[in-house]
């Protein structure tokens, strides 16, 4: 049996079923495996931890045989042996057959890229059917790695996300029930990354394309949100996710400038400008 990680989480051994390029900067990888029969999630922004193999390895090296000591054992492995760990959000879960989709943002995989691709982008750009990964995911449908939780009395949903949050935002928008009023911003790198979202909600979705604005992160996002008028609402709920600095600036805007109750604002820093995920994890931010 797979090793238990926490009360609601465990390891799942999976393999790539297929891949599909969604745009210049986005690729969808579909994973399958018998163990997915025990995967459970009712969340629209379900967080996962994915372990990828190092170049030349057939599968990721994670010492799950150590039980609760797997984390320290994994950290103690040599850098060129230890599996690459990255955090993602679930894009979709299907049954019969059991499959999950995870969308990857590709950074630096172009031949003329100014910044070299990281290990996860390199892996995703070349992923093929049969490639093996490990995943820490939920075996309990309602778990602590779900953050999108609008109160029952919400009369307006406000959402912002950058490219790393596109999967979660897309799932959120598509699942909003009819009659829900929503104002949504999504920031992506290229026009080709814009996706068609289908929803029963009364949702206005604005795509911000960085390549067309010559801007990065917070200034463009904050300016766009500041200029926008929001529908009148007595009990709005705000969900913001993406680059940590941008997320914090937007939270200050919604709470300090818009006067929205901070208890009704959910903000999640998926990454931080200038830091790798390993460095961000070490920082504790």
Contacts of 96 (CB under 8 A, 6+ apart): none
Residue 39: inside a domain: yes
- 162 and 133 within one domain: no
Shared domain check, 134 and 35:
yes
- Residue 277 within any structural domain of the chain: no
Q: How far is CA 255 from CA 130, 153, 156, 251, 285, in A?
A: 47, 19, 15, 6, 21
14 and 123 within one domain: yes
Shared domain for 162 and 221, answered yes or no, is: yes
Mean pLDDT within 110-132: 79
Domain region containing 84: 4-138
How many structural domains are present in the chain? Answer: 2
Residues 99 and 186 placed together within one structural domain of the fold: no
Question: Is residue 220 one of the residues assigned to a domain?
Answer: yes
Residues 186 and 117 in one domain: no
Are 49 and 88 within one domain? yes
Q: Flag the least confident range among 51-60, 195-204, 220-229.
A: 220-229
Counting residues of the chain whose pLDDT is more than 70, the rounded percentage is 87
pLDDT at residue 113 in the model: 46
Could you tell me the maximum CA-CA distance found in the chain, to the nearest angstrom? 56
Q: What is the DSSP letter of 190?
A: S
Q: Find out whether the peptide bond into 252 is cis, omega within 30 degrees of 0.
A: no
Residue 150 forms part of a structural domain: no
- Predicted confidence band at 223 (pLDDT cuts at 50, 70, 90)? confident
Residue 283 lies in a domain: no
Total residues found in the chain within this entry: 285
Model pLDDT for residues 54-79, shown as the tens digit of each residue: 999 999 999 999 999 999 999 999 99
The reply to whether 127 falls in a domain is: yes
Mean pLDDT of 180-206: 95
Is residue 191 domain-shared with residue 134, that is, in the same domain? no
Q: Is residue 143 part of a domain?
A: no
| Omega within 30 of 0 (cis) for the link into 137 | no
Mean pLDDT of the chain: 90
Whether 201 and 122 share a structural domain: no
Evaluate whether residue 278 is within a structural domain.
Answer: no
Do 125 and 199 share a domain, yes or no? no
């Amino acid at each position: 049996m797979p090793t238990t990680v926490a009360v609601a989480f465990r390891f799942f051994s999976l393999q790539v079923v297929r891949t599909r390029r969604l745009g210049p900067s986005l690729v969808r990888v579909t994973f399958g495996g018998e163990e997915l029969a025990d995967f459970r999630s009712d969340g629209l922004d379900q967080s996962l931890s994915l372990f990828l193999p190092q170049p030349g390895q057939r599968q990721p090296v994670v010492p799950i045989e150590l039980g609760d000591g797997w984390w320290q054992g994994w950290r103690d492995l040599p850098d060129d042996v230890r599996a690459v760990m990255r955090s993602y959000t679930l894009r979709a879960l299907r049954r019969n057959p059991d499959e999950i989709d995870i969308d990857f943002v590709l950074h630096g995989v172009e031949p003329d890229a100014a910044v070299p691709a990281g290990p996860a982008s390199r892996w995703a750009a070349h992923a093929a059917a049969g490639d093996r990964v490990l995943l820490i995911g939920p075996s309990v449908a309602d778990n602590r790695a779900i953050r999108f939780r609008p109160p029952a009395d919400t009369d307006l949903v406000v959402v912002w996300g950058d490219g790393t949050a596109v999967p979660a935002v897309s799932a959120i928008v598509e699942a909003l029930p009819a009659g829900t009023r929503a104002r949504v911003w999504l920031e992506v790198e290229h026009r080709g990354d814009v996706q068609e979202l289908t929803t029963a909600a009364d949702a206005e979705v604005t795509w911000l394309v960085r390549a067309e604005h010559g801007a990065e992160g917070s200034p463009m996002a904050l300016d766009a949100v500041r200029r926008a008028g929001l529908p009148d609402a007595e009990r709005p709920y705000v969900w913001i996710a993406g680059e940590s600095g941008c997320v914090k600036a937007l939270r200050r805007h919604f709470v300090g400038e818009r006067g929205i109750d901070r208890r009704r604002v959910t903000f999640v820093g998926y990454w931080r400008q200038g830091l790798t995920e390993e460095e961000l994890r070490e920082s504790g931010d």
